Amino acid sequence: MAVGGVAAAAAIVLSLLASLWITRSIRRLTAYANDVRAGRSVDLPILDKSEIGTMGQAFERMRIALEGREYIEQYVQTLTHELKSPLSAIRGAAELLGEKMEAQQRRRFLGNITNEAARIQDLVDRMLELAALESRSILPVGEPVSLNTLVKAVLESKQPLLSQRDLTVDLSPETEAVVSGDKFLLRQAISNLIQNAIDFSPDSGAVAISITTANERAHLTVTDDGPGIPEFAGEKVFEKFFSLQRPGTGKKSTGLGLNLVREVTKLHGGEITLANRTAHSGVRAILSLKLV
């Protein structure tokens, strides 16, 4: 009777442990399915190698397949929508060129066609860059990259634009910061942040750039003294195709630059924030990456 009692108790305990082990995996899988249904970006939880783990892998493959289909549909729709405006402008200008007009007016319409064609080219190029980024779930083994060197290279490439706008760049005392990643992608992200600051700065204004390190992370800060982000746009600045009018020209960009910055940052396991310095003046962008 004693042996039977011990055996029964052991069986009960083992049954409880097995039940807890199985239900824990089921709870994780259920939470994962709910997150996917809600549209949140989540990774497949760690599951055991039983049938539940196999089912989880099947869920993951199904999610990737469905996301791929939705991804293509979304891109076709958004690209078509964004191409309508420049194509209409090109068509209108081409039709007007068939009529008699002064040489100056003809040059103006030809310039419109050139500008809109360049806009389409820029849009397609950026869409291809984003598509390549978003299809990569992990970053291959990166190389050591000096943020200081990248910032200097980007500023050198933008020197003609800075001179044209009479903008000054305040580069704070250097703090050497080396991160691991893709040099080309990181340069693209930094270039977009600096270009954004230039676009929204007033003529003869200033752009401040600093690199600091803390808690094993590098922090690149880009600040402008432009009009700031309107309240309604605070949650939209990183969305595809969302763009604000530039103060100097009133024109909008493709709306893909900051989205590319976010994707590059995510791929490198970093963080990007964009917020007003004050209530309605100036914007501060902070890109944080892990130090080597």
Q: Please report whether residue 57 resides in a domain.
A: no
Q: Please report whether residue 52 resides in a domain.
A: no
Average pLDDT over residues 87-99: 81
Residue 75 has pLDDT above 60, yes or no: no
Domain co-membership, 85 together with 155: no
Residue 71 has pLDDT above 60, yes or no: no
pLDDT at residue 276, as a whole number: 92
Domain co-membership, 281 together with 171: yes
Domain co-membership, 148 together with 218: yes
Q: What is the CATH number of the domain that holds 107?
A: 1.10.287.130
Reported as a single tens digit per residue, the pLDDT across 3-59 is 887 887 787 777 766 666 667 777 777 777 777 666 666 677 777 666 667 777 777
Q: Please report whether residue 177 resides in a domain.
A: yes
Q: Write phi, then psi, for 189 (nearest 5 degrees).
A: -65, -45
Q: Kindly give, in sequence order, each residue whose CB lies less than 8 Å from that of residue 206, ignoring residues fewer than 6 positions away.
A: 167, 168, 169, 170, 224, 225
Average pLDDT over residues 198-210: 92
Residue ranges of E strands in 198-281: 206-214, 217-224, 271-276
Closest listed residue to residue 193, CA positions, set 287, 289, 288: 287
pLDDT at residue 5, as a whole number: 79
Domain co-membership, 147 together with 275: yes
Q: Please report whether residue 276 resides in a domain.
A: yes
Percent of the chain residues topping a pLDDT of 90: 22
Residue 225 has pLDDT above 60, yes or no: yes
Closest listed residue to residue 224, CA positions, set 240, 252, 247, 242: 247
Category of 100 on φ-ψ map: left (φ > 0), alpha (ψ -120 to 50) or beta:
beta
Domain co-membership, 115 together with 216: no
Reported as a single tens digit per residue, the pLDDT across 232-266 is 887 788 887 788 888 777 777 777 788 888 888 98
Q: Please report whether residue 93 resides in a domain.
A: yes
Q: Show the domain range for 121.
A: 66-134
Residue 68 has pLDDT above 60, yes or no: no
Domain co-membership, 195 together with 263: yes
Domain co-membership, 129 together with 77: yes
Average pLDDT over residues 192-198: 92
Closest listed residue to residue 249, CA positions, set 161, 117, 121, 122: 161
Residue 146 has pLDDT above 90, yes or no: yes
Q: Please report whether residue 214 resides in a domain.
A: yes
Residue 74 has pLDDT above 60, yes or no: no
Domain co-membership, 182 together with 114: no
Reported as a single tens digit per residue, the pLDDT across 271-282 is 999 999 876 678
Domain co-membership, 130 together with 239: no
Q: Please report whether residue 11 resides in a domain.
A: no
Q: Write phi, then psi, for 7 (nearest 5 degrees).
A: -65, -40
Average pLDDT over residues 205-225: 93
